[in-house]
Amino acid sequence: MRTEKKYLATEIEKHLDKSPNYFYMLDYTKLTVPETKELRAELTKLGAEFHVVKNSVFNVVAKKKGLPDLGEFLTGQVAIVVGGKNPAGVAKTLKAFAKAKEKLSVKVGIVDAKKMTAEEVSFLADLPSIEVIRATFLALLNEGASRLVRVLDAKAKKTA
């Protein structure tokens, strides 16, 4: 591998190491430079980054890291989104941006070393945030406990 490609491979490895649990591959062909800047700003809020990659070099790095075969998605202009601790939040941001601009599409996602189709990434984006899920779960637990206390209280008043 030539020196330039070795450097690119090292950079891609560093990017992938920023989020060991996930990354998304995008087709950004129609995005303008200002729109790309806008997307990067949105992703930065979540601790994520947008990087354009060279397909052949990315393929070498993906194989080296033991990732699922991504060859079919390495066509045209490809970018990766890495970083941050919230893959669902990043997917939500990508989906909202793609819907608003109609110029961006997710090709594939890798979450916990499993390949996700664009439709699966879209489904992930539609899920509520972890904070909402936790709050709902706690509310359900609290509701059951409240009902139990009411029943016990009614029994106690009845016997008294």
pLDDT single digits (tens) 26-36: 998 888 999 99
- Each residue's pLDDT tens digit, 24-83: 999 988 889 999 999 999 999 999 999 999 898 988 888 888 888 888 898 888 999 998
pTM summary value:
0.77
List, in order, residues 6 or more apart from 105 with CB less than 8 Å away: 26, 27, 98, 118
pLDDT at 155: 65
Q: How confident is the model at residue 160 (pLDDT cuts 50, 70, 90)?
A: low
Give the span between the Cα atoms of 34 and 20, in whole angstroms. Answer: 29
- Each residue's pLDDT tens digit, 10-27: 888 888 888 878 899 999
The CA R_g of the chain, rounded to the nearest whole Å, is 22
- pLDDT cut 90: percent of the chain above it: 24
Residues 1, 9 contacting (CB under 8 angstroms): yes
The residue among 145 and 75 whose pLDDT is bigger is 75
Give the span between the Cα atoms of 43 and 37, in whole angstroms. Answer: 10
